[in-house]
């Protein structure tokens, strides 16, 4: 199996460019199921999750091809299959994004309950609530979600999609895509306001949809008979940008320029870094400079829906705060069980305890390198950056989690001065194939 071997203690210096956002490109790709024309997506990151979704799209009748680095072209060629198989869907939770488009375009969809990262229960009830509101008949059969639109068409409706942990990005995306081809007007109250939803809505409008209220928790959609082709440039990945910023903040002496990002998408992350004593200088709307010169200070933070601090940057922040002077508290209000990385950090010498939905972090003087295992995508990134700050050698196992959301992560860290190397039988083959 592949692993990353890291020699800690080297500050990061230089410039890194942010790739297109995983959490934006996946719903954009799913939305191309609705199109009757050719769709072109640019700035597409080459990730395991992207390739998995492309495989699913091909099985349900699309041509989906890479046209040079970062560009994917899709077109619907046939409608004879509306089944997303367990063997593919089980690899990532975002496969659920094909449910709404298949149902709206073809009147029927059979999608296996999704898999993905293992950090607690993440039900799809709000996805199903939104589609049921549009008239879908939905049941569960042998582990598959089976959905039908009576008469072959969904109908416009009003639905509230707020949940116990706040708005749902996935449920908003699925309901929004389905409503574009429904008869009549739909209103989504309690819609997610994440930048990735804004990008999806603008893309759908370019395809011919009529969506109002973009960027607000109230989306109004007037259904249309059909959607055409369109193009999109995938928005920069705010979580990847946040990961690099936190990595720079963790390592004393680091000085990293992060470019091709959206500064306005990262206000909460940069605010907490500054509170912890990390110098963040905004150079323009698409570039920041992150420097660590002094000691880290403890902070208190809670993850909440956008524009608050993102859950996908929680694990990385815990790694950084493990070396802060004092006690920090990180409360997880999106996925309260998303703390599997704590045990691995404690193996490295951190002092972190879980109390309910919170991590209580008592800063230590140093971390010590050792063998650790990633439990999910962001935990993998958190362990990598912790290893870069630890004394001695750290080996991070189960890299398939990391590769789901970061393209050539270790190579880009190497370019910033990190001592990090991918080892294992598959490493050379994977690089050759890419």
Q: Residues with catalytic annotation? A: 117
What is d(CA 185, CA 200) in angstroms, rounded to the nearest whole number?
Answer: 18
Task: Kindly list the distances between the CA atom of residue 151 and the CA atoms of 80, 137, 184, in Å, as whole numbers in the listed order.
Answer: 18, 11, 15
SS (H, E, C) the chain: CCEEEEECCCCCEEEEECCECHHHHHHHHHHHHHECCEEEEECCCCCHHHHHHHHHHHHCCEEEEECCCCEEEEEECCCCCCEECHHHHCCCHHHHHHHHHHHHHHCEEEEECCCCCCCCCCCCHHHHHHHHHCCCEEEEECCEEEEECHHHCCECCEEECEECCEECHHHHHHHHHHHCCCECEEEEECCCCCHHHHHHHHHHHHCCCEEECCCCCEEEEECCCCECCCEEECCECHHHHHHHHHHHHHCCCCEEEEECCCHHHCHHHHHHHHHCCCEEEEEECCEEEEECCCCCCCCEEEECCCCCECHHHHHHHHHHHCCCCCEEEEEECCCCCCCCHHHHHHHCCCCEEEECCEEEEECCCCCECCEEECCCHHHHHHHHHHHHHCECEEEEECCHHHHCCCCCHHHHHHHCCCEEEEECHHHHHHHHHC
What is d(CA 22, CA 194) in angstroms, rounded to the nearest whole number?
Answer: 13
Task: Kindly list the distances between the CA atom of residue 428 and the CA atoms of 9, 397, 433, in Å, as whole numbers in the listed order.
Answer: 26, 17, 9
60-83 as b/e, with b when 16 or more CB fall inside 10 Å? bbbebeeeeebebbbbbeeeeebb
Tokens of 175: 């309901």
Alpha-carbon torsion (344, 345, 349, 353), positive or negative:
negative
């Amino acid at each position: 199996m592949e692993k990353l071997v890291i020699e800690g203690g080297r500050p990061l210096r230089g410039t890194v460019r942010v790739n297109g956002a995983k959490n934006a490109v996946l719903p954009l790709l799913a939305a191309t199921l609705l199109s009757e024309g050719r769709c072109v997506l640019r700035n597409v990151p080459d990730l395991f999750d992207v390739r998995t979704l492309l495989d699913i799209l091909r099985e349900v009748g699309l041509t989906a091809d890479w046209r040079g680095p970062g560009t994917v072209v899709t077109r619907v060629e046939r409608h004879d299959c509306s089944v997303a198989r367990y063997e593919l869907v089980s690899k990532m939770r975002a496969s659920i994004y094909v449910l709404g488009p298949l149902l709206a375009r073809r009147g029927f969809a059979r999608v296996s309950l999704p898999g993905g990262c293992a950090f607690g229960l993440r039900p799809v009830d709000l996805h199903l609530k939104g589609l049921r509101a549009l008239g879908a008949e939905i049941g569960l059969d042998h582990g598959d979600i089976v959905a039908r639109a009576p008469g072959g068409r969904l109908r416009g409706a009003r639905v509230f999609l707020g949940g116990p942990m706040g708005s749902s990005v996935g449920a908003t995306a699925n309901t929004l895509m389905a409503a574009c081809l429904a008869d009549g007007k739909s209103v989504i109250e309690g819609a997610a306001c994440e930048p990735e939803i804004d990008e999806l809505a603008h893309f759908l409008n370019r395809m011919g949809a009529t969506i109002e209220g973009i960027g607000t928790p109230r989306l109004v959609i007037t259904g249309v008979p059909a959607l055409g082709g369109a193009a999109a440039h995938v928005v920069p990945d705010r979580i990847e940008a946040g990961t690099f910023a936190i990595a720079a903040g963790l390592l004393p002496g680091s000085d990293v320029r992060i470019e091709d990002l959206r500064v306005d998408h990262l206000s909460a992350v940069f605010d907490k870094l500054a509170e912890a004593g990390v110098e963040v200088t905004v150079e323009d709307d698409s570039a920041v400079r992150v420097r660590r010169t002094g000691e880290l200070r403890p902070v208190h933070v809670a993850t909440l829906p956008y524009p608050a601090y993102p859950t996908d940057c929680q694990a990385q922040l815990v790694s950084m705060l493990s070396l802060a002077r004092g006690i920090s508290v990180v409360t997880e209000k999106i996925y309260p069980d998303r703390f599997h990385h704590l045990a691995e950090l404690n193996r490295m010498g951190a002092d972190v305890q879980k109390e309910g939905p919170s991590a209580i972090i008592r800063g230590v003087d140093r971390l010590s390198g050792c063998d650790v295992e990633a439990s999910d995508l962001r935990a993998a990134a958190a362990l990598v950056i912790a290893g870069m700050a630890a004394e001695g050698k750290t080996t991070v196992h189960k890299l398939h989690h990391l590769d789901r959301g970061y393209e050539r992560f270790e190579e880009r860290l190497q370019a910033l001065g990190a001592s990090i190397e991918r080892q294992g039988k598959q490493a050379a083959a994977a690089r050759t194939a890419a």
